[in-house]
């Protein structure tokens, strides 16, 4: 129940805080917070659809992830890096998963993982930064947009909604994803990477902000008051999230990798019933220009094991019907290997969709490997078609408005 102590204006909170009333008393969101963080976590809303985005930063080598083992062109393009049939987990008679993707292979066989093949966009850009920007803003490669596709989704879905205690979107990555940027500001929240999500990281800031460095100008409603109020609001979100993570009891064993631990946290937040609609997790290191064999296998293992543990956790908690997970990477890599046992920046690559509702394992068409030396793959599925499908058939919102154009829907959600 909202406490009578709760101030109704920002000015009151400063007055109260000087009397030693704590942080919780004066955030705009405090009442909900106090109600919601009772130790028995509330049941998550059954009808809420959640999207988890997994970024493979650096440009994942698609051809050594979903391997066209039977294509002679593949072997001649990659004399040292090519994987043979015996090294891959068969998907059909021409394609197989890299052996490090065994957990994903199992999910695929259970009908919970789909592969969208050869995803890219026209006139590809090979700069990490720029291509990431294109993916995150969902624009054509010669356009720029100030907002991201998730931000525009939030503009659409959360417009007019009262400011909620829970963030609209949460990212576990060093930078705020560009996809989160909306035309309107949204309550987004960044969680520290990995398991060491520092418990006390904001404790000092909270104490200092509560205390205030000085008593002000004796003027009402100063910028100082305003900044404190805004910061308190985010600290309240943060505190709530920290409590949830502390109490999180996953129903699957997650590997120790920072990536898997990030997903473990996402699982905990979803299970706690936050009203958050989008989560963003990043796994970096895919920029494999040299001696890529082992590092790439390790990355795929981290990815697969993390995703599999996450899906198992969600399933055991009965949440798998609510969550769709999707990977993306700024580009694939050059079909031919380079002189250093690695691959250079390329274009199209496969991406994964994971969830209970996935229809059919393979979507789109495999890339055509009949390319000249140092030439690139030509995409066959536009990434905005993937977004359009997710927005339309999962998040139930006007995809064409959000993407600014009509894009073909794919079949992975039926």
Check binding of 275 to other proteins (CB under 8 A).
no
Interface segment toward other proteins; rule CB under 8 A; list 98-106, 208-216, 244-252, 308-316: 208-216
CB-based contact 334:345 (threshold 8 Å): yes
Q: How many CB atoms lie within 10 A of CB 9?
A: 11
Q: Residue 328: which residues within 8 A CB-CB, separation 6 or more?
A: 53, 54, 55, 56, 135, 351, 383
| DSSP secondary structure of 331-368 | --B-SS--TTSS--B-S-EEEEEESTT---SEES-PPP
Task: Please state, in angstroms and rounded to a whole number, the distance separating the CA atoms of residues 73 and 62.
Answer: 15
**Minimum Å distance from CB 215 to other proteins?**
7
**Minimum Å distance from CB 73 to other proteins?**
26
Q: Which residues are registered as beta bridge partners of 382?
A: 120
Interface segment toward other proteins; rule CB under 8 A; list 57-65, 264-272, 304-312, 354-362: 57-65
Of residues 166 and 320, the one with the C-beta less far from other proteins? 166
- For residue 148, what is the DSSP state? -
**Binding test (CB under 8 A) with other proteins, winner from 287, 320, 376, 382:** 287
Check binding of 212 to other proteins (CB under 8 A).
yes
Task: Please state, in angstroms and rounded to a whole number, the distance separating the CA atoms of residues 146 and 133.
Answer: 10
Residues 5-34 that bind other proteins (CB under 8 A): none
Q: What is the β-pairing status of strands 323-328 and 349-354? A: antiparallel
**Binding test (CB under 8 A) with other proteins, winner from 75, 243, 289, 356:** 289
Of residues 96 and 182, the one with the C-beta less far from other proteins? 182
Instruction: State the burial class of residue 105 (Cβ atoms within 10 Å of its Cβ: 0-12, 13-18, 19+).
Output: buried
Of residues 85 and 340, the one with the C-beta less far from other proteins? 340
Q: Which residues are registered as beta bridge partners of 324?
A: 51
Of residues 281 and 399, the one with the C-beta less far from other proteins? 281
**Binding map of other proteins across residues 220-239, x = CB under 8 A, - = no contact:** --xxx-xxx-xx-xx-----
Q: Residue 383: which residues within 8 A CB-CB, separation 6 or more?
A: 119, 120, 121, 135, 138, 328, 351
**Binding map of other proteins across residues 351-390, x = CB under 8 A, - = no contact:** ----------------------------------------
Interface segment toward other proteins; rule CB under 8 A; list 54-62, 78-86, 352-360, 369-377: 54-62
Q: What does the block give as tokens for 347?
A: 């274009």
Interface segment toward other proteins; rule CB under 8 A; list 171-179, 313-321, 367-375, 385-393: 171-179
Check binding of 308 to other proteins (CB under 8 A).
no
- The CA dihedral of 383, 387, 392, 395, to the nearest 10 degrees, is 160
Residues 124-153 that bind other proteins (CB under 8 A): 125, 127-130, 141-142, 144, 146
Q: Which residues bind other proteins (CB under 8 A)?
A: 57-59, 123, 125, 127-130, 141-142, 144, 146, 167, 174-176, 178, 180-182, 185-190, 200-202, 204-205, 207-209, 211-215, 217, 219, 222-224, 226-228, 230-231, 233-234, 284-285, 287, 289
């Amino acid at each position: 129940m909202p406490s009578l102590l709760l101030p109704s204006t920002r000015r009151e909170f400063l007055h109260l805080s000087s009397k030693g009333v704590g942080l919780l008393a004066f955030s705009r969101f405090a009442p909900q917070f106090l109600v919601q963080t009772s130790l028995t976590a509330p049941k998550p809303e059954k009808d809420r659809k959640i999207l988890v985005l997994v970024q493979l930063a650096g440009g994942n080598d698609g051809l050594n992830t979903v391997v066209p083992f039977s294509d002679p062109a593949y072997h001649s393009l990659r004399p040292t890096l090519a994987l043979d049939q015996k090294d891959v987990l068969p998907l059909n008679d021409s394609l197989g998963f890299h052996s490090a993707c065994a957990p994903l292979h199992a999910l695929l066989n259970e009908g919970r993982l789909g592969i969208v093949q050869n995803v890219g966009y026209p006139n590809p850009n090979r700069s990490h930064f720029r291509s990431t920007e294109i993916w995150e803003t969902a624009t054509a490669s010669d356009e720029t947009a100030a907002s991201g596709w998730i931000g525009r989704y939030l503009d659409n879905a959360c417009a007019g909604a009262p400011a909620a205690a829970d963030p609209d979107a949460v990212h576990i990555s060093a930078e705020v994803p560009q996809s989160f940027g909306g035309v309107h500001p949204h309550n987004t929240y960044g969680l520290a990477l990995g398991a060491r999500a520092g418990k006390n990281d904001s404790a000092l800031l909270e104490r200092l902000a509560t205390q205030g460095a000085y008593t002000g100008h004796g003027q009402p409603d100063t910028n100082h008051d305003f900044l404190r109020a805004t910061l308190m609001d985010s600290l309240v979100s943060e505190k709530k999230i920290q409590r949830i993570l502390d109490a999180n009891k996953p129903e699957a064993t997650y590997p120790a990798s920072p990536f898997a631990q990030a997903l473990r946290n996402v699982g905990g937040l979803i299970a706690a019933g936050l009203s958050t609609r989008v989560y963003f997790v990043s796994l970096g290191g895919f920029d494999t220009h040299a001696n890529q064999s082992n590092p790439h296998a390790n990355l795929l293992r981290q990815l697969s094991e993390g995703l599999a543990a996450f899906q198992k956790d969600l399933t055991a908690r009965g949440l798998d019907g609510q969550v769709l997970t999707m990977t993306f990477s700024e580009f694939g890599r050059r079909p031919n290997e380079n002189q250093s046992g690695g691959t250079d920046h390329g274009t199209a690559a496969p991406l994964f969709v994971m969830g209970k509702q996935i229809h059919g394992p393979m979507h789109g068409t495999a890339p055509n490997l009949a390319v000249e030396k140092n030439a690139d793959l030509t995409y066959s599925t536009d990434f905005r078609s993937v977004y359009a499908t997710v927005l339309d058939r999962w998040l139930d919102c006007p995809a064409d408005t959000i993407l600014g154009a009509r894009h073909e829907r794919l079949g992975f959600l039926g």
